[in-house]
Amino acid sequence: MSAPSLPMRPFPLRYIQEQFLLSRSDEFFAIRDPSQRVFFFSALFSRWFARWPEEKAMFPDTPFHKLTPTQLGAVGVAVRKRRKNLMKFYTSALRRYPRCPKARG
């Protein structure tokens, strides 16, 4: 008699988000002209924030149109920080040159 199988737990959100970013790595690294990165990041930000809105993470029970000016300011700060971190995900030296000793130090 075999033991009943356990229900599969959903993947953690961080893992899902990292897979989302990794799935677009080839597209980013195919860009040769740095001025074209603007278009890549614009599309990335649109997809990211459509899927994981910052206001839902910060104020899950409040609809966007009911946020106070202070809450909207906090969301704006969080969005800017998230954009910066998303850009770092692709542009960090460790990710671009994983075997380069200078990138590790």
pTM attached to this predicted model: 0.77
Residue recorded with tokens 């799935």 = 23
State the DSSP H helix or E strand holding residue 7, giving kind and residue range, or none if neither.
none
pLDDT, one tens digit for every residue, the chain (105 residues): 566 677 788 889 999 999 999 999 999 988 889 899 999 999 999 999 999 999 999 999 999 999 999 999 999 999 999 999 999 999 886 565 555 555 545
State the DSSP H helix or E strand holding residue 2, giving kind and residue range, or none if neither.
none
